[in-house]
Amino acid sequence: MTDKNKTLKNAYQKEKLLIQLEEDDAEATEQHPSCAHGPTILFYRQSQKPQDGYYACSAHRDAKLCKFQMPASKWKGESIKRELSKRTHPLINQERIGRSKIVDPTLSMQALEQDAVNAQYFFDANALAFLAEQCQLLGITKVVCMGTPRLHFHLRDKCKNIQTFLLDLDERFASHLGPKEFCHYNMCNNHFFYDRRPFEDFLRGSITDRVLIATDPPFGCRTELIAHTLHSLRRLHNRLNQIPWTPLSIFWIYPYFAYNYIKQQMPEMEMSDYLINYTNHSRYTNVGDESRAYGSPVRLFTNVPLDQLNLTTREGYKFCPKCEKHTAQTTTHCDLCGKCSSQNGQIYRHCLSCDMCVKPNYVHCQNCRRCTQREGHICSLYQSMQICWLCGSRGHIESNCRVLEKVKKTKAMSTQRGQCCLLCGRKDHRERRCKQRNKYFNETEFMGQKTIEFRG
């Protein structure tokens, strides 16, 4: 794995760094100090209390890019209210050329290449066509392009029945797009540098409108920040349209290895097998000498049911009748798991010991009760990132779960705890699929979020 690919994973390898975000009500009393890039984020380690942490820039964690950092103990808060930005779009009082006359500036502009901040990698023609086709199939009428400038220009040129609005940290787009199409914006803290009223006007609509948010964040960005922003935009849309609650459709472009982190923040999101390629990235593409053996690791995460997406056979996809969705040609359906399990393009194998499909090069660790990579595996670190198959919480495995002590133990469990299901003692499955779960747990699921309560 290259250094760039490790950016996201490394953020979670050390002691877990927790974050605290400001509430998204723009009229509320200011809770966090601000830097030049909007409200800051409170960072603190798992072993600390929030008041022992520090405030830092949400967009620029590198001190060379934004020097702001304040110990949490020094922030006394402010009694004033933060008002909506009074800064207006630079072209607000100028005439604009026709919507169809603007040439996509991403075809000629110098892309920003700070991976943890801007990371401007532009979709290739196939990815643009795929995303546009899905919008048309879903009947989308408005698309919020959050950090996806090339998609914005593609939709405005090719899909006349779809309105688009670009939210981007790169202010250069202000010289190409007027205030009805662009706002200088920080997706890491949902901060609008310009007056956001034109964007609010865009979100207002009729009951026939179908709005989708398409976002392609920097891969070094914490998933908690993006999820918070997506939730905030949904609440804003609902408030403006006086809707009690509705889930906006979301296309979140991110690497497949972020699957668990995204699911933790937004359980309703699922990962499509479609590979997103970029024109200006040597590794995240299917062309060139440096391209990866199994193609780009970037996928489409969405809350749209996957059976509603159309992955074409001309790009190497097939329809799995058992899963009732399109998958990669290399993916095989596992009858034991009941799904097509591959995430990275390899042919996965089913491990009977941990009762799931895993990468072909993984080996089973009896201590962790799971398969993992051969090198660099530290049991305590690996277990701290797992979701317990008993209680459903993240941070431990089943043998360390407090619920285990409450569960009625069998003789098999006491003698072969690591080699069998801890609920019934059988070896042909693990706790996730045990038929005796309902003896011990009340389980409910809504929008992909499962709630598990111990019956005792």
All domains in the chain, ordered by first residue: 6-74 (no CATH), 99-334 (3.40.50.150), 373-454 (no CATH)
Query: What is the pTM assigned to this prediction?
Result: 0.81
The confidence score (pLDDT) of residue 17 equals 72
197: pLDDT strictly greater than 90: yes
Backbone phi, then psi, for 325, in 5-degree steps?
Answer: -160, 165
33: pLDDT strictly greater than 60: yes
314: pLDDT strictly greater than 60: yes
438: pLDDT confidence band, cut at 50, 70 and 90?
confident
Residue 26's alpha-carbon distances to 31, 37, 192, in angstroms, are 11, 15, 10
Average pLDDT over residues 418-429: 83
Least confident of 195-199, 248-252, 272-276, 343-347: 343-347
The confidence score (pLDDT) of residue 30 equals 66
Average pLDDT over residues 157-181: 94
The confidence score (pLDDT) of residue 443 equals 80
108: pLDDT strictly greater than 70: yes
Nearest 10 degrees: Cα torsion 207, 204, 218, 21? -110
12: pLDDT confidence band, cut at 50, 70 and 90?
very low
Q: Which residue has the tokens 């891969």?
A: 219
86: pLDDT confidence band, cut at 50, 70 and 90?
low
Q: Cβ distance 170 to 149 under 8 Å?
A: yes
The confidence score (pLDDT) of residue 114 equals 64
Q: Which residue has the tokens 């499909």?
A: 357
Q: Is 308 helix (H, G, I), strand (E, B) or coil?
A: helix
CB atoms within 10 A of CB 172: 14
Which DSSP symbol is given to 81?
Answer: B
Q: Is 8 helix (H, G, I), strand (E, B) or coil?
A: helix
d(CA 210, CA 200): 15
